[in-house]
Amino acid sequence: MLYNVHFGITVDAAMPVEDKSKSLLPFLSSPKLLPDESEAEFQQGLQSLLSELDNPSALAVALVSQLNECLWWIRRHTVDKELLLHEAMARLLSREGSNWMGSGNSALSVALEHYLNGSADKDEVALIEEALIDANLTLADLRARSFKDAARHIKMVDDLIHRQHQTIRHLQRSIDSIDYKSRLIKRMDLELAALESKQSVKGALTLDDKSS
Amino acid sequence: MTTNPRRSLANQSNALKSTGPRSAVGKRASSQNSRKHGLNSAPYFESLSEYRALVDLIAEEGFSAFACADIASGLLNYRRVMDAYYDTYTSFEPVDEFLRDVTVKASNPIFSELLSPSGSEPQDVRDMAAFFASMQRQERRKGGPVSRRSADTHKLIRYQRNAIARLSRTVRQG
């Protein structure tokens, strides 16, 4: 019987668990990525996490996929922290300068972004340097003041990153518990098999005694 | 589509005169205006085919029927929250650059021009300028796109905390 699982993957119910985990892989690991993000990189991270598990079950794969997504979110939020600082720098330059409001913040933000990345063209460099002179600031001053200005939002992003860390901890505990459970079940199966074989040997011996 | 600043101001001033929707359909539609993510509504996963498939898969791992149901709904609930998290992160309120960058004093002639034909008094123009200035302050306080998406996503922290705690608890107790 075929099931159409969440996110559009089809899983065969009669499939062994190992194969199901592979089938589940796209269902829980096909991520919603941003346009500039690489899916290959995302999948590579997931594979490296899965490779650390010995024969993971379908549920373990599902949980590891969520864990990988959390790591991805941490990356996004870390980039956001720097972007917040850039935004605040552009805002500050715009506020401190005499005629910058008229030209709009966006042009200045883009120029500043390129300037900080080292990919600014001549006009952008001139625009930023002129803005810095106009505002009577150095780049270091601007950065320090912007940090103070953006502190509230940077704190929010720190909270978001902290939340992802906490989520990872929860997921790790869950994966450990599944792993422990599966090992316990295996051990109990072995003990049961040993008991059954002992029982059958005993039964055979009793029958032998009676017949003799 | 480019926004004409004068048209935008006229729309905003006309909107101030609005008393809201009158028809039942309009009221029903506007009742959903502030709906952001829908995470406060109780989910019913049991009717989904994904839920049954997950329950069957988890059952093969030696969990009891109750545990399977709890884990499957816990997992789907966590996915629901994380999907809303992504949607909130990617669809934040856009920055109104005109409102943010324009100076209120420079806008006053526009107000006058808009309101004079309808017989508005200068006091009206002053009130509108004050209102416009307060909107501008709000707009600037929200910051740029990254600040907005961070603030919006931050509101979903508690949903994520509850969803992962529930999932983790059901898996470990199962």
- DSSP assignment string, chain A: -EEEETTTEEEETTS-HHHHHHHHHHHHH-----TTS-HHHHHHHHHHHHTTSSS--HHHHHHHHHHHHHHHHHHHHHHHHHHHHHHHHHHHHHHHSSSHHHH-HHHHHHHHHHHHHT---HHHHHHHHHHHHHHT--HHHHHHHHHHHTHHHHHHHHHHHHHHHHHHHHHHHHHHHHHHHHHHHHHHHHHHHHHHHHHHHHHHHHHHHHH-
Supply the mean pLDDT for chain B.
81
Q: Do B147 and A153 touch (CB under 8 A)?
A: yes
Work out the average pLDDT over A173-198. Answer: 82
Contacts of B58 in chain A (CB under 8 A): 58-59
Q: Supply the angle between the helices A58-96 and A139-149 in degrees, to the nearest 10.
A: 120
Total number of domains in chain B: 1
pLDDT at B1: 52
Sign of the Cα pseudo-torsion (A5, A166, A170, B167, in order): negative
Q: Which domain holds residue B126?
A: 45-173
Residue A35 has pLDDT above 70, yes or no: yes
Q: Which pLDDT band, with edges at 50, 70 and 90, does A164 fall under?
A: very high
Q: Look at residue A60 and tell me if it is in a domain.
A: no
Q: Look at residue B67 and tell me if it is in a domain.
A: yes
Q: How many CB pairs under 8 A join A and B?
A: 120
Q: Which domain holds residue A116?
A: 76-211
Q: Do B171 and A6 touch (CB under 8 A)?
A: no
Q: Do A84 and B150 touch (CB under 8 A)?
A: yes
- Residues ≥6 apart with Cβ < 8 Å to B82: A66, A69, B160, B163
Contacts of B76 in chain A (CB under 8 A): 6
**Residue A94's closest chain B neighbor by CA?**
B101
Q: Do A170 and B168 touch (CB under 8 A)?
A: yes
Residue-wise pLDDT for A145-158, tens only, equals 989 989 999 999 99
Q: Look at residue A65 and tell me if it is in a domain.
A: no
Q: Look at residue A12 and tell me if it is in a domain.
A: no
Pick from A87, A166, A178: which is nearest to B144 by CB?
A87
**In this prediction, what percent of chain B has a pLDDT beyond 70?**
83
**Residue A186's closest chain B neighbor by CA?**
B62
Residue B25 has pLDDT above 90, yes or no: no
Residue-wise pLDDT for B107-153, tens only, equals 666 666 666 556 556 676 777 778 878 888 888 888 888 999 999 99
Q: Do B101 and A101 touch (CB under 8 A)?
A: yes
Q: Which two tokens stand for residue A152?
A: 């509230």
Strands annotated E in chain B = none
**Residue B146's closest chain A neighbor by CA?**
A84
Q: List the single best residue of B45, B51, B54 to mutate versus A (max A Cβ within 10 A).
A: B54
Q: Look at residue A4 and tell me if it is in a domain.
A: no
**Does residue A113 sit at the B interface (CB-CB below 8 Å)?**
no
Pick from B86, B97, B161: which is nearest to A106 by CB?
B97
Residue with tokens 């005169």: B17
Helix, strand, or coil here: A190? helix
The model's pTM is 0.74
Q: Do A34 and B60 touch (CB under 8 A)?
A: no
Q: Which pLDDT band, with edges at 50, 70 and 90, does B74 fall under?
A: very high
> Could you tell me which residues are beta bridge partners of residue A5?
A9
Q: Look at residue A173 and tell me if it is in a domain.
A: yes
* Displacement of CA A62 from its chain's centroid (Å): 13
Total number of domains in chain A: 1
What does the alpha-carbon distance between residue A111 and residue A130 come to, in Å, rounded to a whole number?
A: 12
Q: Look at residue B10 and tell me if it is in a domain.
A: no
Task: Produce one character per residue of A18-40: b if its CB has 16 or more CB atoms within 10 Å, e if not.
Answer: eebbebbbebbbebeeeeeeeee
Q: Look at residue A204 and tell me if it is in a domain.
A: yes
Contacts of B67 in chain A (CB under 8 A): none
Q: How far lies A51's CA from each of A64, A119, A135, in Å?
A: 11, 38, 54
Q: Do B103 and A101 touch (CB under 8 A)?
A: yes
- Residues ≥6 apart with Cβ < 8 Å to A76: A34, B89
Q: Which pLDDT band, with edges at 50, 70 and 90, does B3 fall under?
A: low
Q: Which pLDDT band, with edges at 50, 70 and 90, does A104 fall under?
A: low
